[in-house]
Amino acid sequence: MSTSSSRRTLLQSAAAAPLAASMATAPERSRVQPKGSITDVPGVEVGHWTSTRRPTGCTVVLTREGAVAGVDVRGGGPGTRETDLLRPERTIERAHAVVLSGGSAFGLATADGVMRYLEEIGVGFRAGATVVPIVPAAILYDLGLGDGSIRPTAESGYQAAKGASSQAVPQGSVGAGAGATVGKLLGAGRSMKSGLGSASLELPDGLVIGAVVAVNALGDVVDPETNEILAGALNEDENGFADVARRIREGLGLGAGGRLQNTTLGVVAANVDWTQAQATKVAQMAHDGLARTIRPVHMPFDGDTVFALGTGGLKVDTAKLGLLGALAADVLGHAVVAAVLQATTAEGRRARRDLFPDNE
């Protein structure tokens, strides 16, 4: 071996030694354990309506005092209502509720019922002798699960809003997550049941940030800490996962069950006093939580949408805004994990807890 080659080998070994040492001592990452719910944020209430006739429903996130709201729509096929009103250059800043619903575009009617309930209790912007509640909404496609003629209505939204409370959010196959599924890239027959999840985090300075999400994704849901697939497209033997990300790299095309049936809808909230532009930025950053846990996400046929609500309290400067956005992504990712861990089997779409009970 030449002198230059020997020197190069020694340098490479010396450079690799610290890396090897750090890898040897690095703690093993453990699975995410979602905790809390969005109702831990002061001023936030949540209510569900879940159909007893087929897996579908709606979820209402209620802020009786109004919340400064922003939204970020990433999917290429969204179904939304009043999201233009939440753009930073608009005059109206506050929303009094946000509705997430199944039923595809039909589900947008749920917002009418929420408005009716809020008007009855005097929540909204004063307009002469009446009040006008601001109720943005977004929907997901679940018409392929059971009888698609059964879907949430205005009355469903009314009942969900009427039942809203600050108690811990019921999770799993309820509300907007009742008809949610994941792993449809290889066709609906190899997909799994998903649902609705929630999580929260409280900091020593009193900041509380929470999230709720209905996960109806084309691809797999993975643990953001371990990268382990938690739910998604099953392999041919249905005893494990096909690994959608790997199959895409191998040239897999879009399966028959994949088009127009995929959307993840989320709401993040915090006890902060922010501007609509700041709320919009946090909604944008919160999408990172979806990207860490759903593979693939933000596809052309998806309607992926995240709302951000500030219920008032702590002031937010630019530095704190960045940290808040990073935390929003973490909490939303934890809520995604909760959605698949809490889901239950329905209409032949099996849930993780039934397929892999020993891995819970």
Per-residue model confidence (pLDDT) at position 27: 53
In a domain, 20, yes or no: no
Per-residue model confidence (pLDDT) at position 9: 44
- pTM score, whole prediction: 0.90
In a domain, 143, yes or no: yes
178-189 mean pLDDT = 92
Query: Cα separation of 215 and 312, whole Å?
Result: 28
Ramachandran angles phi, psi of 237, nearest 5°: -85, -5
pLDDT tens-digit map of 258-297: 555 689 999 999 999 999 999 999 999 999 999 999 999 9
pLDDT tens-digit map of 104-115: 999 999 999 999
Strand-pairing partners, residue 125, are 132
Q: Which amino acid is at 93?
A: E
Instruction: Give yes or no for a contact between 298 and 289, defined as CB atoms under 8 angstroms apart.
Output: no
CATH number (domain holding residue 155): 3.60.70.12
23-46 mean pLDDT = 81
212-226 mean pLDDT = 96
Give how far Cα 154 sits from Cα of 99, 101, 162, 287, Å: 11, 11, 12, 29
Burial class from Cβ neighbours inside 10 Å (0-12, 13-18, 19+) for residue 35 reads middle
Instruction: Give yes or no for a contact between 356 and 228, defined as CB atoms under 8 angstroms apart.
Output: no
Tokens of 335: 């809520």
143-169 mean pLDDT = 97
Count of domains forming the chain: 1
Query: Cα separation of 71 and 333, whole Å?
Result: 17
Question: Quick check: 139 pLDDT over 70?
Answer: yes
Dihedral in degrees, nearest 10, Cα atoms 270, 272, 274, 278: -40
Domain span holding position 50: 30-359
In a domain, 326, yes or no: yes
Question: Quick check: 144 pLDDT over 70?
Answer: yes
pLDDT tens-digit map of 294-344: 999 998 878 899 999 999 999 999 889 999 999 999 999 999 999 999 999
**How would residue 238 be classed by pLDDT, with cut points 50, 70 and 90?**
confident
In a domain, 5, yes or no: no
Question: Quick check: 10 pLDDT over 60?
Answer: no
In a domain, 235, yes or no: yes
**How would residue 186 be classed by pLDDT, with cut points 50, 70 and 90?**
confident
In a domain, 18, yes or no: no
In a domain, 285, yes or no: yes
Percent of the chain with pLDDT over 70: 89
Mean pLDDT of the chain: 90
In a domain, 220, yes or no: yes
Per-residue model confidence (pLDDT) at position 18: 44
Per-residue model confidence (pLDDT) at position 359: 64
56-65 mean pLDDT = 98
60-65 mean pLDDT = 98
